Amino acid sequence: MLNRIFLSADIEGTCGIAHWAETELGKPDYEPFRRQMTREVAAACEGAFAAGCEDLLIKDAHDSARNLIPAELPERVSIFRGWGSDIHSMMSGIDASFSGAIFTGYHSSSNTDASPLCHTMNLDNVSIRINGIQASELVINTFADVPVLLVTGDLGVCEQAKRLCPAVYTVPVSRGCGNGSISIHPSEAVRRIREKAELAVADGVAHPEKFTVALPNNFDVEVEFVKHNRARRASFYPGVKQLGPRTVRFSSDAYYDVLRFFMFCL
């Protein structure tokens, strides 16, 4: 079987980031952090290739999906830029042929205090819970049913990754402190990511069962929006029940149904 790795790259969990202006295309503060995001992704790719990865697809998964600098990535990778307009969102391009996944630059969820940029998918919700779990983008994408081998980002999201799957490798590059963050040196982050990616991919290919998160038989999702009109709008989606002025619930036995709900209602 071809050793294929999928890499989903976000930016808010990139080393050193502490403000939204550092994540937004066109803002003066964006360029150095775009380059650091690219360096961290490149390091993860290099580690994966050193461990025997034969094919690697990167999904640029932040905002415009045009953040990574392709010329600064290893020549052997493929990169999915822009949005696929499908339910997989940050995981567009994923399928069962991949041996495992790597998440770089990931961040803590909305309704937490582990990052100055805490959110889940957008800034329109206060909280998303799946079967009672405070859902970060990490949680949503881990349930895509491909073993997650490595997570890099803020300390909060790395700790959540360990709770989901104790075997997963992590590289916490920063931790939230009020409306700021305390980070390691950017070059140290790159070094650690490269080392952990090699270990994670080698381990994941040899022992995929260690990294497999068992999916529940049923998914019960609650979303609390910032504005009441978003809950009213979502209440018209088939199967959604409005619980209060700003809160809705959606349940299904199939996770694809949950992803469709997110696509049209978040």
| pLDDT tens profile 38-72 | 999 999 999 999 999 999 999 999 999 999 999 99
Q: Which two structure tokens, joined as six digits, stand for 150?
A: 């490595």
Q: What is the separation of C-alpha 194 from the centre of its chain, rounded to a whole number of angstroms?
A: 18
**Number of Cβ within a 10 Å radius of residue 143:** 21
Whether the CB-CB separation of 237 and 250 falls below 8 Å is answered with: yes
Name every residue whose Cβ is closer than 8 Å to that of residue 130 and which is 6 or more positions away in sequence. Answer: 139, 140, 143, 219, 220, 221, 258
Region 228-252 average pLDDT: 98
pLDDT, one tens digit per residue, over 176-234 is 999 999 999 999 999 999 999 999 999 999 999 999 998 899 999 999 999 999 999 99
| DSSP annotation of 15 | T
Region 240-264 average pLDDT: 97
pLDDT value of position 145: 78
Q: What is the separation of C-alpha 219 from the centre of its chain, rounded to a whole number of angstroms?
A: 19
Region 158-182 average pLDDT: 97
**Number of Cβ within a 10 Å radius of residue 9:** 27
Does residue 236 have a pLDDT over 70? Answer: yes
pTM given for the model: 0.97
**C-alpha span between 261 and 241 (Å, rounded):** 12
Confidence band (pLDDT; 50, 70, 90) for 2?
low
Does residue 1 have a pLDDT over 60? Answer: no
What is the per-residue DSSP string for 96-126? TT-SEEEEEEE-PPTT--S-TT--BSBSSEE
Question: What whole-number percentage of the chain has pLDDT above 70?
Answer: 99
pLDDT, one tens digit per residue, over 110-145 is 999 999 999 999 999 999 999 999 999 999 999 987
